A and B are shown apart, each in its own frame.
Chain A
Amino acid sequence: MFPHPCGSDFADAVKNGADPGTVVPDEFTVAHGGTTPLPPAGAKFSCTAGPSVEAAAAALPHGQLRSTTAGAIRTRGGTVKWESEMSRYAVLNQQHVNVVEVGPTSFSELQPNPVPRKLRIGGNVKPKKGGSGSGGRQP
């Protein structure tokens, strides 16, 4: 269930001087949500981090994801940099990380998000009337 306490741990550590580029432990799961192809090597993209697939998966709203570990990304020369982000609901996601891969990806194939939608970020927000989901007056 979102949020996992690791997010506030990351935030506290960085506030106290930890490097955002190393604060996520190598053994932590890193998850990228969405069905679009992963960006090419060298491009920065959004992921979430947590001590398990479930913990990382709960911090993204998507129904499908790809996962790896922070260590696998770093071993290949890539980077995992913590950077919290605010959702449109004004909910702070402290498990958000920016990832850059180098060379072949270490991410898995697409897999269903193991966390039910209502337990993911934004899952407890009532959809807007007349919309397909979470917000925005539809044109």
Chain B
Amino acid sequence: MTNGDRVSIQYRDFWDVPRIFLATYRGQLFLFDCPFDEEVEDYPQVYHVFAMPPVAEQELAGSWVDLSDKALSYLGDVPLDGVLFDPSKRKTIDPTVLDELMARKAVAG
């Protein structure tokens, strides 16, 4: 879903920024995941990004821990500061990072 020139997100695990969120852009659902690292007891500074199949709202009502297990493909890592959020950091992102990920996927075939 787009919101003007920006892309709406659904998120969980907010700590300074959403540590896991979903965004639909040009018909593709993306998962950005920055899971807490239990070994160092801190969050890493990158998102793992995945292309996702459609996920039912009912499924999103529960835990998101296993969401990445449902991914169609892994698209790459993006640094946290590579995602430009709205001022609330909870509603939308700038689509530039999604364009870059789609281009990366196209090049990789």
Q: Which residues of A contact B74 (CB under 8 A)?
A: 137, 139
| A90 B63 Cβ-Cβ under 8 A | yes
Nearest CB of A to B57, in Å: 14
Q: Which residues of A contact B16 (CB under 8 A)?
A: 34, 39, 45-46
User: Which residue on A lies nearest to B74, using beta carbons?
Assistant: A139
Chain B's interface size range is 20 to 34
| B42 A133 Cβ-Cβ under 8 A | no
Docked complex Cα distance between A45 and B15 (Å): 8
Q: Which residues of A contact B63 (CB under 8 A)?
A: 88-90
The residue that A46 contacts in the complex, of B15, B38, B40, B65, with Cβ under 8 A, is B15
User: Which residue on A lies nearest to B73, using beta carbons?
Assistant: A139
Q: Which residues of A contact B100 (CB under 8 A)?
A: none
Q: Which residues of A contact B91 (CB under 8 A)?
A: none
- Inter-chain CB contacts under 8 Å: number: 94
Chain A's interface size range is 35 or more
| B41 A61 Cβ-Cβ under 8 A | yes
Docked complex Cα distance between A92 and B39 (Å): 23
Tell me the interface secondary structure of chain A in the complex.
loop
**Which of A7-15, A22-30, A68-76, A124-132 is the contact stretch?**
A124-132
Q: Is A19 an interface residue (CB 8 A)?
A: no
The residue that A88 contacts in the complex, of B13, B40, B50, with Cβ under 8 A, is B13
Q: Is B69 an interface residue (CB 8 A)?
A: yes
Q: Which residues of B contact A135 (CB under 8 A)?
A: 33, 35-36, 64-66, 68
| B15 A137 Cβ-Cβ under 8 A | no
| A86 B12 Cβ-Cβ under 8 A | yes
Interface residues of B in 52-92 (CB under 8 A from A): 61-66, 68-69, 71, 74, 76-77, 89
Q: Which residues of B contact A131 (CB under 8 A)?
A: 35
Nearest CB of A to B5, in Å: 23
Among B42, B65, B69, B76, the one with the most A-chain Cβ atoms within 10 Å of its Cβ is: B65
Q: Mark A46-80, 1 if CB is under 8 A from B, else 0.
A: 10000000000000111110000000000000000
Measured CB to CB, the residues of A under 8 A from B are 33-36, 39, 44-46, 60-64, 85-90, 96, 113, 117, 122, 125, 127-128, 131-139
Measured CB to CB, the residues of B under 8 A from A are 12-16, 19-20, 33, 35-43, 45, 48, 50, 61-66, 68-69, 71, 74, 76-77, 89
